[in-house]
Structure 1
């Protein structure tokens, strides 16, 4: 179960990085949002094209790459292992909660992969 703290830290770091970039770009994009077209990204949600371009512009100099372990197969194993540990320690079946959290994280990772391919 040594993987759980490692992946948990990775989830938090990548999610916070993504939120920070979006928050930083938000102010710059507010004026352009009214006139910009919306593009469908991030699990079907529509975001301003200007915000999408600002995220790419912000991430480009960072030379970010996503680890190969962030794959659906790894998520499935992680969910099972994490749920087994939580269930063993507390008696609570947390599969649905963990699965939902991983689904949203997976959406963020997919969005980031798409951006990184454009860089």
Structure 2
């Protein structure tokens, strides 16, 4: 969620107090604009605090601290085959055992193939 102007102001206030930044109206408005359009409050504040704690002696530039929250992925609707597989993996011990044996056999084949080397010819 994009940050509000009040949140952006709070971030600028923290940074400018630590680094004694003297922002004129133009710079201040640019910081507000960039932070509200491209940043989210929590990750940006966290990054700003980390920037300060890491002992950086120079004031940050906007890209040094501006962060956006990760976008959440919406899970697609599952098909019937996948639903059945998931149900059987949780509730059918025989199905789980057959699947385990098949996976173990596959892993064994891959291991055999990998151990032959590049110069193997049949």
TM-score by length of 1: 0.22
Q: More helix per residue: 1 or 2?
A: 1
Higher strand share: 1
Bigger-Rg structure (1/2): 2
TM-score using structure 2 length: 0.22
Q: Looking at both structures, which has the greater relative contact order when contacts are Cα pairs under 8 Å and sequence separation is at least 6?
A: 1
